[in-house]
Amino acid sequence: MPLAEGTFEPSHWEEHTVHEVDDGPKLTRADVQNRYAGDLAADATLTYLMVYLGEEGSFAGFEQVTGRLGGHEGGFVVRHDGTFAHDMIRGTLSVVPGSGTAGLAGIEGSGSFAVRTGERAAPYRFEYRLP
C-alpha cells in the first residue's frame, strides 16, 4: 500500500458544550475546518464529539476530505478516534468504506496522527489503496 505523509492544521475550530455534570464528565461537539499538506493536499470539514474527564479525554469524529492524493483528485470520508492526555493528542484515521468520490472512488486506508497539545500542525501517516 502507498504511504502518504504530511501535516494537517485546523483553520477553524468551534467547540460547544453539549452536556456537563458537576465533578464529572463534560461532553462537547467541535466543528473543525482542516487543511492537509504533504502527500495529501486537501481541505476538510470535520465534526468531533469529545468527552473530557478532567485533563484527559477521548474523541470520535467524521471528516469529509476533498483534494488530491497520489495524483488522483476526489474526496472521501475519514473516521477519527483518539485520546488526549497530559501533553499529547493521539488518533487513528480510517476511510469509511464506499465514501470515495471521483478519482478517489473505491479508496481504502488507515493511518494515525500524534501531536503535542498547543502545536497547530499535526503530522499524519496514512496507508491507502485505490482500485
Query: Grid cell 485505490 — which residue?
Result: 130
pLDDT at 112: 98
pLDDT at 39: 98
The structure's pTM equals: 0.94
Among 111, 90, 92, which Cα is nearest to 40's?
Answer: 111
What is the chain's length? 131
pLDDT at 50: 98
Cα–Cα separations (whole angstroms), residue 117 to 77, 88, 120, 124, 130: 25, 5, 8, 15, 33
Q: Give the residues of the chain that fall short of pLDDT 50.
A: none
pLDDT at 99: 98
pLDDT tens profile 72-104: 999 999 999 999 998 999 999 999 999 999 999
